[in-house]
Amino acid sequence: MEDKETTDFIMEIENRRGGKMKYRTYSTWFADNSGNIREYGVFLYQIDRTFYFEDFEKENRIFGIPLSRKKKNQKEYVKLEGSFKVEDVKSITLVSKNSALGYCQSKNISNLPSPANVFSKLFNRLITMVELEGEKVLFLELIDQKKFNQIMEEK
């Protein structure tokens, strides 16, 4: 059962996007080959045949009280939003977080990270690499990866 705040939030998104949310999850870490990296993650959801992702400004709070003030040299928050159609997904591969991060920080984005091997699967955090048409690559540390993979297999 969801609380009123969550229900209102979902309804606002559905009204804005013009459809019912079929799937939603959270990616605790996000990056792409445009240089966007979000250590605190993004909200990922599906409406019709399109996946949307967006982040929210992270504020550390306890009982509604901010834990720290903004630092002088802290970068200004810029909202991240994007989308992709199910049909535009070329491949989905598990890779290590270290290889995903190295790829995103590299100037050479022509060589995609290698799929995770048995060793990586045992000893590293795994990230879902989503390769899209048009050279776009997303990296998601999904909470509900099995359901995401099921949706992609049904395309």
pLDDT digits (tens, 9 = 90+) for 48-71: 999 999 998 776 566 666 666 666
Q: Please count the structural domains in the chain.
A: 1
What is residue 106's predicted lDDT score, i.e. its pLDDT?
81
What is residue 64's predicted lDDT score, i.e. its pLDDT?
60
Please name the residues in contact with 111: beta carbons below 8 A apart, sequence gap of 6 or more.
103
What is residue 63's predicted lDDT score, i.e. its pLDDT?
62
Low-confidence residues in the chain, pLDDT < 70: 1, 59-74, 107-109, 155
Neighbours of 54 (CB within 10 A): 14
Evaluate the CA torsion angle 64, 68, 69, 73 in order and state its sign: negative
Q: From 3, 7, 53, 10, select the one nearest 29 (Cα to Cα).
A: 53
| Predicted TM-score (pTM) of this structure | 0.84
CATH number at residue 21: 2.30.29.30
- Looking at the DSSP bridge assignments, the partners of residue 46 are 23, 51
What is residue 26's predicted lDDT score, i.e. its pLDDT?
93
With contact defined as beta carbons under 8 Å apart, do 120 and 126 qualify? Answer: yes
What is the number of alpha carbons within 13 Å of residue 117 lying toward its C-beta? Answer: 2
What does each C-alpha distance from 72 to 75, 76, 121, 149 come to in angstroms?
Answer: 9, 10, 40, 42
Residue 150 — φ and ψ, nearest 5°?
-60, -45
What is residue 117's predicted lDDT score, i.e. its pLDDT?
82
What is residue 145's predicted lDDT score, i.e. its pLDDT?
87
Q: Which domain holds residue 57?
A: 4-153
What is residue 153's predicted lDDT score, i.e. its pLDDT?
86
